[in-house]
Homo-oligomer: A and B are copies of this chain.
Amino acid sequence: MKEKILELLNKKHDYLSGDQISRHLGISRQGLWKHIQELKDLGYEIEAVPHLGYRLASAPDRLFDFEVSRSLHTKFIGKKIFYFDYLSSTMDLAMQKGMQGAPSGTLVLAEAQVRGRGRLGREWFSPKYKGIYLSLILRPDIAPASCPVLTLMSAVSICEAFKSLLHLEAQIKWPNDILVNHKKIAGILTEMNAEMDKVNFVVIGIGLNVNNDKKSLLPQATALKQELGQEVRRVVLLEEILRTLENNYFLLQEKGTEEIINKWRNFALTLGSRVKVDYQGKHIEGQAVDLDSDGALLIRKDSGLMQKISSGDVTTCR
């Protein structure tokens, strides 16, 4: 009902009489008043003027499920949304929901995370209302070995959404960091629940710095607000990312991994550069040449030998 009231108020930027709204939605004036109060409590500024009616003056920058789903227009992503003011970690909840049988496309959103998780047990700083912190459940019919391409697909989707919505160029540092002007702006964590030969489900986690203040960011990190010089409405960006993700997921299923890896190459900061890679307690240096079909990084060492790296931390030597 909140969703429908907002729909009406959004359509007409003028005042709408309480009588009109109530009749249109088939609720009592009293019922409408209660919903309006609830929306006000959530941060919506709704002006009520005698003889004129209600007008939506402003909406808060929140990722409420009903806001996200209102103009999402996806086929399956976000049809089910779990929204929280804060969570320990969206990953933990999504893994649980996945085990309980939540359908593919189920989305977990939190306005803040107490213990946001990054790759290999690292932390993702998740201050309230400043970023987008989501975990998305997917149920692809693939083997565990094919899962890394989902991380690449997610990274590509974020870069494409930045470009189409914000006209902002971003790069990907293999395997899962999104950088703008060489500073980290987003990270992706992909976890799976799988049998040896079949994935039960995958959870893609995205942590994205949007309206973070400069002083709260580490020197090597940035946020969209810092790069664009203005705040970004998170719900609009989130919708764009989810739509792009869904399109790329369909592309992956239709055309296979090569299409995604081709797109990835266009955003790759790593390829062509001299890099240092720390992996499994070892490190090597060389030229980052390409990705193989599983999404592993191919390094040409100074000896000329090629080495395939499935997991590691890359530093670009500039």
A residues near B (Cβ < 8 Å) are: 92, 95-96, 99, 119-120, 143-145, 147-148, 151, 175, 189-198, 200, 310-312
Contacts and interface: CB of A to CB of B under 8 A. Distances in A.
Given A95-B99, A148-B196, A194-B194, 5 more contacts: A99-B99, A147-B196, A192-B194, A192-B196, A197-B311
Nearest to A310: B197
A196 B151 CA distance: 8
Contacts of A119: 195, 197
A311 B143 CA distance: 9
A258 to B, nearest CB: 19
A190 B191 CA distance: 17
B144 A193 contact: no
Contacts of A195: 119-120, 189-191
A314 to B, nearest CB: 13
A207 to B, nearest CB: 14
16 contacts: A99-B99, A120-B195, A143-B311, A145-B145, A145-B310, A175-B197, A190-B196, A191-B193, A191-B200, A192-B194, A193-B193, A194-B194, A196-B311, A197-B310, A197-B312, A198-B311
Nearest to A189: B195
A315 to B, nearest CB: 17
A99 B189 CA distance: 16
Total copies of the chain: 2
Contacts of A144: 144-145, 147, 192, 194
A191 B95 CA distance: 14
Which 8 interchain pairs have the tightest Cβ spacing?
Answer: A197-B311, A148-B196, A144-B144, A190-B196, A191-B195, A192-B194, A193-B193, A145-B145
Interface centre among A144, A191, A194 (most CB of B within 10 A): A144
A147 to B, nearest CB: 6
A195 B151 CA distance: 10
Nearest to A150: B196
A194 to B, nearest CB: 6
Contacts of A147: 144, 196
Contacts of A148: 196-197
A266 to B, nearest CB: 21
Nearest to A196: B148
Nearest to A311: B197
Contacts of A312: 197
Contacts of A198: 120, 311
Nearest to A145: B145
A148 B143 CA distance: 12
